[in-house]
Structure 1
Amino acid sequence: SGRVEIFHNDVWGTVYDYNWDLNDAEVVCRQLNCGTALQAPQSAYFGAGTGQIWLGGVRCSGNESSLTECQSSGWGNSYYYYYGHNYDAGVICTGPIRLTGSGSSRCSGRVEIYYNNSWGTACDDGWDLNDAEVVCRQLNCGSALEVPQSAHFGAGTGQIWLDNVTCSGNESSLTDCQHSGFGSNGCEHGQDAAVICSAVSIILTGSGSTRCSGRVEVYHNNSWGTVCDDGWDLNDAQVVCRQLNCGPVLEVPQSAHFGAGTGQIWLDNVTCSGNESSLTECQHSGFGSNRCEHGQDAAVICSGPFLFVYYLIGLAGSGSSRCSGRVEIFHNNVWGTVSDNDWDLNDAQVVCRQLNCGSALQAPRSAYFGAGTGQVWLSGVSCSGNESSLTECQHSGWGNPYYYYYNIHYSDAGVICSGVIRLTGSGSTRCSGRVEVYHSNSWGTVCDDGWDLNDAEVVCRQLNCGSALQTPRTAYFGAGTGQIWLNNVTCSRSESSLIGCQHSGFGSNTCEHGQDAAVICSVFSCIDAIRLVGSGSTRCSGRVEIYYNNSWGTVCDDRWDLNDAEVVCRQINCGSALQAPPSAHFGAGTGQIWLDEVTCSGNESSLTTCVHNQFGSHNCDHREDAGVSIKTLNKKSSALPEDNKIQLCKHTRTHKHTHFISLWGHLIDTMLSLSQNAFKLVGAGVLVATGAAGPHK
């Protein structure tokens, strides 16, 4: 313990305490083989140094092997001298003892001590609460609660330094207790001693549990007890996961999923907002007040453990859920956000897939779910959409200091995913395919017994894909594999999600994958319906409008340029962009202004995959409506009539030799009312309405 000094350029100097915290102190303690950090004193706690102030603004993740590996403001910044040595940083370390191992925390784990230049374990021969009490006090972790036996936190390696430890409980360090002598033992690492100290007030345990998944137990009145699952939900579980530093919650298994506990049931009717720092801060019926049995013991599955995951991802923020929120990444033992520079649906798609949250519906920008804090880990993310992890995508590098210093959290990226449903299979698109739902940690299909347009309507709405057009049967998009989760689904059309409909129960069916259900929604091939309209418009020039949330809206001309117009022209098969007229060149639109600050590279496949503000987020009026003019028309499109036309999206299933026509929203009814001669096929499958008379199907 002391003031931190560094030897650089043949001179010793101190560290300025700006941003100095336990992560920074942890690196110093490790570098000195002094265990773990207890405190990170500031303001020259150990007295003011003299001479150089070498470092300031140090930001460590806590995993670095040396303080000089951490980010900082640079060597010998003259700014430090303005404040002088009154702000010299210090550390207080635990000394030659630490708790480590699988599932360990700062105050629970396998006991290891540092001796003769190496760390080694303690054998559990005679290991008891008195011995553990000394360890817990030495680590500033309160009192000893338990002394798990038989390498409870995993077997160590290397030396076994202590055996037959006998403490009175009053010693200041473990090595002050009686023992057999350093390295003198007849033990194996299967006997490594461990402790759980009172600073740990909640644990996850049970059959098949890990550090971040298991039956929830809390410590109260000198004993561990379970939590009843009455009203137990994602908000409650989120508090547990945060309390254990286990990332976002993934699932809340019911009915003693990790086995029934014993003894007390401490909590019931727990009601958390999700923002509490510990479970006992949430509303509940009172300790021990319940009418539950252990068959109702609550459990959680968090997205950790970090011990086995290099790059973890989660969603957080105001109004977030398991499948929507501000994107945060766990890197170097620290959570951080993602800047929305170049953030689009392809990037969001990767996040949704990584979280088993179906497909990406939106890629919100501008801290839509609230501004994060701390690190901004990634920026300039550019995914193809097929990556298995966000960190596989191209980006500008980890922790660009520009974002940290200028607090760019107002640009934190977010995602809104479809949740526990997706469309997949051979020839599928975002809005057409085999229906799969996520349950019990795996994706599974839906049997088509009784499957109809009412059921499909709920799926299409849930995926923001318009209305249901068809319900192809007999595994039309190919047979799935694994579980068949749902059968005999019966929806009224008003449900918000498919699993809210009546069904036979998860996994209860006698179906085969040749009966996998599917849907074709009304916007299955045009994720982003787009049109050119207005005074003086043609098929390939006009005011740009997109169809979103069941209505057409315009695009504001802020930052509108030829790259943006190029994407529009390509999207409607109209050749290259000649101009990008601003200021409502084709007349002012009405209603919604859906997009603003659009920034395309020119290579995107649709306008909404370009960088832009949130849908409907703008500071514009319709005098700023953006337009496009096209240089040359595609030959296949030039014969299209300009009056009374309805442009349709198409998707070709070549292996079925079938063309499906997807209608835009309310235009379905219009199309069905046209005469038998109302359609003609022009060019490569472009369908055009030419008149209106009697009914046509």
Structure 2
Amino acid sequence: MIFFPLCDRCSGTVEILYEGQWGRVCGQKWDVDDANVVCGQLGCGRAVSAQGSVHLGQGSGGRPTWLDDVGCKGSESSLTECSHGGLKHHDCLQSQDAKVVCSGKKSPSVLLVNGSDLCSGRVEVYQIGQWRTVCNDIWDLNDSAVACRQLGCGRAVSAPERAYFGQGSGPIWQDDVGCSGSECSITQCPHTGGTHNCRHGNDAGVICSVTSQIRLVNGKGRCSGRVEIYYNGQWGTVCDDSWDIKDAEVVCRQLDCGGTNQVRSSGQYGPGSGTIWLDDVACTGSERHLTECPHRGFGIHNCHHSEDAGVVCPAAQVRLVDGKGLCSGRVEIYYSGQWGTVCDDDWDMNDAAVVCGQLGCGSAVGAPLGAHFGQGSEPTWLDDVKCSGSESYLSECSHRGFGVEDCKHGEDAGVFCLSEIRLVNGTSHCCGVEILYKAQWGRVCGQKWDVNNAHVVCGQLGCGRAVSVQSKRAYFGQGSGPIWQDDVGCSGSECSITQCPHTGGGTHNCCHSNDAGVICSGKGVSFPCLYMSCIRIWFELCI
């Protein structure tokens, strides 16, 4: 039997079992052919490093040396089949332990299946060419702790029983697994030795503390930045060798950040400081998790942190539906080729502020619940949204994951925004009209522009009442940007021009020679006071 005395079972100091005792293999003449036999015997792929001096820790202090002068051809199935100087015969120093780093590309010995990610799910162990479930008899947190450690998923949070993650369909591996919690692999724990009295309704599960194994750092929000993965209890970076759009797509999908349109390399988000965990990543683009993609093996690289990979995931589009204009309505978000709604669980003004900001609709003044703008018919994409208010896009906020929800459309979330407006090219700040939408100032078409529309604009700016309406010949000069609104039809009681009926979003049949204008009395209350009174009136009238 062969063993690495480290919790990464595919790298470490080589030991073999002889006469009931683990002992060392001398590193003299140790080469890649010898290492390949060790990696193959352990099911750890091919050797990527073969070392004959101290590199991975301090040797097997105090243990006997069983083998010296090992000379494998590389085709042997076991290390003891290779030529050597004879068991227990050596002239080796303690510092000359043989060491190996394997690629680790063969299937892992344990997986968590049907969970939300790689760190939760039904426990399955690979044995004799098949994945097998584990019976939950005496299954506890100690057993779960070993599985979490083996997968680099932190500590165990829970040890769910009774097929919590669904029933498996293959053989049942073991029963009465009794780990102490200190083992490096679930296969090292005491168990019944291949017998059981279980059915798949008793399949064991695990939930680990690291529920997401990937993050983006130093970007603008959680959907852009330097790629970091969590492995073996530590966050580390990914080298940009061979890094491309397919790798980035997997990262964005794993983070529920949609697709991707930009790849970053050469440490553009700053150099990391931890271990470089992955190199030569080669995803097809269809994988669910980055660690499912081919790579050189954890910790195996020829990179510096100046080569740390990065990703920019595009923000999911947002729109407001069935409100009065583009800046109020039921919140809908575009994901997987389809518009869907947002559940109002935990929905608040911070969430609404992010939506208004993303749409270029100014400030949020309301976050109505209970399908205030009517029920949607599409899927519900987001639930339990928790924005801080500083995010640039709704998809950057914390949520349960796209499509993970327990809501009905009677709980669709809504938003009221108070779009920014300004008056330009007049003799004071109370003359002219421009509105801000999608972060760009634009004009309003003068067709159907009347005194009711003008009153709303003046009131919104704290400029009193309208004393003159300019609807033709671009009285205050022709604009050069977009025309955001046409056919505006206010009643005069609205608090914001965006509440008025209009054909907005840049849809118009106007030219800048018809830009609307206003001259206000300039004797109104200050804007902050008007803003607060408008919120009060709005909620009295509209909610």
TM-score (norm 2): 0.40
Q: Would you tell me which structure has more strand in proportion to its own residues? A: 1
Q: Structure 1-normalised TM-score?
A: 0.32
